[in-house]
Amino acid sequence: MVVGQETHPGAGAGAVPPEFRDAVATMHTARLRPEVLCEEMPAPQRIAPYASALSADVTIDDTDVGTGRIILLHDPAGNDAWEGTFRCVAYARADVDLEQAVDPMLAAVGWSWLTEALDAHGASYAAISGTVTRVSTESFGGMADEGGTAQIEIRASWTPLPPEDAPALAPLDVAPHVEAWGELLCTAVGLPPVPEGVAVMPSRRGQRGSGR
């Protein structure tokens, strides 16, 4: 993913700690599918002293079918709820069929999309939590011909951990977590998995809205 590094220190934060700067740099090495159009976005200012964020749309045939964001938070003093000094916060929303929206297993399946993507990309984590919400809309009266729509929304946070074999002083590699988030977006919109052995091209920045 070719993007420039940009961090957004929270209110009252001083100089950006090198461990956060290095972790943000690894976010920008994530390789996402070409359907995932990713770019930087302003990060929230009050959740943690330091934060950096990415947003993405999943586009198929020039139509946006899913959207999401991932935020990397850092508190050098640590956070008991996080069980560490870093935290990933992710959001994904995608259109689903109305039949899927009423499936009682949809929430559990949606959550498994995230955990399986994290495991598949070798993204070690702790203290994961989140919610899965289904939203359906029905039209009536003069709008009855428009039919109904449904979406699934997945919100989650987890503490990214270094792999067990990582060198002691190596920067935290967040790229696998970003790639898992990208896979979550693609799975949610119904894209088939990339066949084994097929290279995933880096996502390009600044393409949202092009060619439309």
pLDDT digits 0-9 by tens, 79-136: 999 999 999 999 999 988 877 777 889 999 999 999 999 999 999 999 999 999 998 7
Burial environment of residue 124 by CB neighbours within 10 A (0 to 12, 13 to 18, 19 or more): middle
53, 42 Cβ separation under 8 angstroms? yes
169 versus 6: the higher-pLDDT residue is 169
Closest CA to 45 of 78, 70, 71, 79: 71
Band (7; pLDDT cuts 50, 70, 90): very low
Q: How far apart are CA 131 and CA 177, in angstroms?
A: 18
Residue 86 dihedral angles phi and psi, to the nearest 5°? -120, 155
Q: Return the SS3 of 55.
A: strand
pLDDT score for 201: 45
Q: What is the mean pLDDT of the chain?
A: 84
pLDDT score for 14: 61
- Please say if the pLDDT value at position 62 is more than 50: yes
User: What are the angstrom distances between the C-alpha of 183 and each of 6, 71, 81, 87, 106?
Assistant: 23, 16, 26, 19, 17
Which token pair is 25? 């740099």
- Please say if the pLDDT value at position 200 is more than 80: no
- Please say if the pLDDT value at position 1 is more than 60: no
Burial environment of residue 19 by CB neighbours within 10 A (0 to 12, 13 to 18, 19 or more): middle
Task: Give the predicted TM-score (pTM) of the model.
Answer: 0.83
For range 47-58, the mean pLDDT: 96
pLDDT score for 166: 76
Q: How far apart are CA 27 and CA 24, in angstroms?
A: 5
To the nearest whole percent, how much of the chain has pLDDT over 70? 83
Q: How far apart are CA 212 and CA 210, in angstroms?
A: 6
DSSP state, 173? Answer: -
pLDDT score for 141: 74
